[in-house]
Amino acid sequence: GQQLNQSPQSMFIQEGEDVSMNCTSSSIFNTWLWYKQDPGEGPVLLIALYKAGELTSNGRLTAQFGITRKDSFLNISASIPSDVGIYFCAGQLGNQFYFGTGTSLTVIP
Amino acid sequence: SQTIHQWPATLVQPVGSPLSLECTVEGTSNPNLYWYRQAAGRGLQLLFYSVGIGQISSEVPQNLSASRPQDRQFILSSKKLLLSDSGFYLCAWRETGVEQYFGPGTRLTVT
């Protein structure tokens, strides 16, 4: 299957700091999605990106669809304790979705 | 609005026993349905997906199977569980748009 490289694997930041994570692939995707997963729960969709170059915001979250269609990044501004969790990127191709390995975010109050 | 249900929420089964996990979606029709497995809180592995009743695509050869007996029902089964089948099983749906939405998951422990 398709391989998505997500980095960093984990982050420990102080409350109020900004966060940046990214996802790269050797394959081109039609759509990029970003999810957040809390322990023991299903991932929740944060942002969907539909075309190359697109920059989309959702509150303190901003994500971009790379021009080459092979990468995407997610930024979180002014982090708060409830931002803690694992963040996944996903690329969509046809009926299938391919997921990154996740970025574990810890916010220190 | 659409909702997705999975049950049971947790399950402990002995090696060699059968398995049946159920997923249902409400508030939509003819969705694409997916089963994923997640080990150790990371890495979602696509197991099966379905674009319609009776249509199942398998991504990974294993001792699991899936069925879609009704439009909004997706079932994951096994005749004999292995220790390696332990994990967090997630069902997801997708309608006409691109976005995919996940259910709450089932935690399976094979002992």
Two tokens at A73?
A: 């990044």
Q: Which tokens belong to B93?
A: 């749906």
Q: Which residues of chain A have pLDDT under 70?
A: 1-2
| A95 closest CB neighbour out of B32, B102, B103 | B32
pLDDT given at position A36 = 97
Q: How confident is the model over B34-89, as pLDDT tens digits?
A: 999 998 767 899 999 999 999 999 887 678 999 999 999 999 999 999 999 999 99
Q: Which of A33, A35, A97 to mutate to test the interface with B (most CBs of B within 10 A)?
A: A97
- Residue B52: CA count within 13 A, CB half-sphere: 0
Quote the CA–CA distance of B104 and B58 in Å, as a whole number: 22
Q: What residues of chain B, 63 to 92, have a C-beta less than 8 Å from chain A?
A: 88, 90, 92
Chain A contact for B56 (CB, 8 A cutoff): no
pLDDT tens digit sequence for A16-29: 999 999 999 999 99
pLDDT at A5: 92
d(CA A41, CA B46): 17
Do the Cβ atoms of B43 and A39 come within 8 Å?
Answer: no
Q: What is the mean pLDDT of residues B23-32?
A: 93
